[in-house]
């Protein structure tokens, strides 16, 4: 149990997927204009990473390892993620229109979000068990949600202040991210 809590803390805070691993930067910078959209994207990412970690674990350990095909992991994982996102999208559309309304538009974007593939590969590297893989996926998603919502809140404040002209737009956002990353470096004290 402590082990699982440790994994959540590590993936969500210490090795924050965006601010220390640089995965999913595109959407982090791109879709962080409003808090509400950011939160929905975060939820969608958490959902997809959780499922993708589970499926990737099963495929890796029950298909790739027995057939000695582990070198195919990159190809298999990316295809599985792409197919999975399509499936989740269709499934949500049929069963839960409300959830689809909230998450739907973000789902196609997530296929190319490197965080999903990154987590699947890290799980294999760390030789996590099934439960550990899913927990680490969800933890990563939570870390992503936390940082994108924080950035969105900072950006709504930035919109109301005067910024030197060359820094308007992307540079000030990158600088805010830099300051957030410094704050998150503090969490490395938690690493055991």
Partner 1 sequence: MKSYLQLIYNGVIKENPALILMLGMCPTLAVTTSATNGFGMGVSTMAVLVFSNLLISLLRKIIPDAVRLPAFIVVVASLVTIVEMITQAYMPALYESLGLYIPLIVVNCIILGRAEAFASKNGPVASIFDGIGMGLGFTIALVIIGFLREFIGSGAAFGIQILPESYPGIGIFTNAPGAFMVMAFVVAVMNKLNIKTRANEVVEDCDGCCAHCHKCPSKEKEV
- Binding segment for partner 1 among 87-95, 120-128, 132-140, 154-162 (CB under 8 A)? 120-128
- Binding segment for partner 1 among 90-98, 103-111, 126-134, 152-160 (CB under 8 A)? 103-111
Which CB atom, from 87 or from 185, has the smaller least distance to partner 1?
Answer: 185
Which CB atom, from 5 or from 163, has the smaller least distance to partner 1?
Answer: 163
Minimum distance of partner 1 from residue 148's CB (angstroms): 12
Q: What is the rounded CA–CA span in Å between residue 120 and residue 49? A: 8
Q: Which residues contact 156 (CB under 8 A, 6 or more apart)?
A: 34, 35
Binding to partner 1 (CB under 8 A) within 70-99 occurs at: 71-75, 78-79, 82
Backbone φ and ψ of 96, nearest 5°: -135, 80
Which CB atom, from 105 or from 149, has the smaller least distance to partner 1?
Answer: 105
Quote the tokens at residue 50. Answer: 């959780």
Q: For 7-10, which contacts have Cβ atoms below 8 Å and span 24 or more sequence positions?
A: 7/128, 7/132, 7/135, 7/136, 7/139, 8/135, 8/136, 8/138, 8/139, 8/142, 9/139, 9/190, 10/139, 10/191
Is 150 a binder of partner 1 (CB under 8 A)? Answer: no
Is 123 a binder of partner 1 (CB under 8 A)? Answer: no
User: Which of 1, 98, 170, 192 is in the footprint of partner 1 by CB under 8 A?
Assistant: 170
Q: What are the angstrom distances between the C-alpha of 23 and each of 65, 70, 94, 116?
A: 27, 23, 31, 9
User: Which of 4, 29, 39, 99 is in the footprint of partner 1 by CB under 8 A?
Assistant: 29
- Interface residues with partner 1 (CB under 8 A)? 19-27, 29-31, 33, 71-75, 78-79, 82, 105, 108-114, 117-118, 121-122, 125, 165-175, 177-179, 181-182, 184-185
């Amino acid at each position: 149990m402590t082990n699982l809590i440790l994994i959540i803390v590590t993936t969500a805070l210490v090795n924050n997927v965006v601010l220390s691993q640089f995965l999913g930067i595109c959407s982090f910078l791109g879709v962080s204009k409003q808090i509400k959209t950011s939160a929905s994207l975060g939820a969608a990412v958490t959902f997809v990473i959780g499922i993708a970690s589970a499926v990737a674990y099963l495929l890796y350990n029950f298909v790739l390892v027995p057939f000695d095909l582990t070198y195919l992991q990159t190809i298999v994982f990316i295809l599985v993620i792409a197919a999975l996102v399509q499936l989740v999208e269709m499934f949500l559309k049929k069963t839960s229109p409300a959830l689809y309304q909230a998450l739907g538009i973000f789902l196609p974007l997530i296929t190319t979000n490197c965080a999903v593939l990154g987590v699947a590969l890290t799980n294999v590297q760390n030789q996590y068990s099934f439960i550990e893989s899913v927990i680490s996926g969800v933890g990563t998603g939570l870390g992503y949600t936390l940082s994108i919502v924080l950035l969105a809140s900072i950006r709504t404040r930035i919109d109301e202040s005067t910024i030197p002209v060359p820094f308007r737009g992307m540079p000030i956002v990158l600088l805010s991210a830099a300051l957030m990353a410094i704050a998150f470096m503090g969490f490395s004290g938690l690493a055991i």
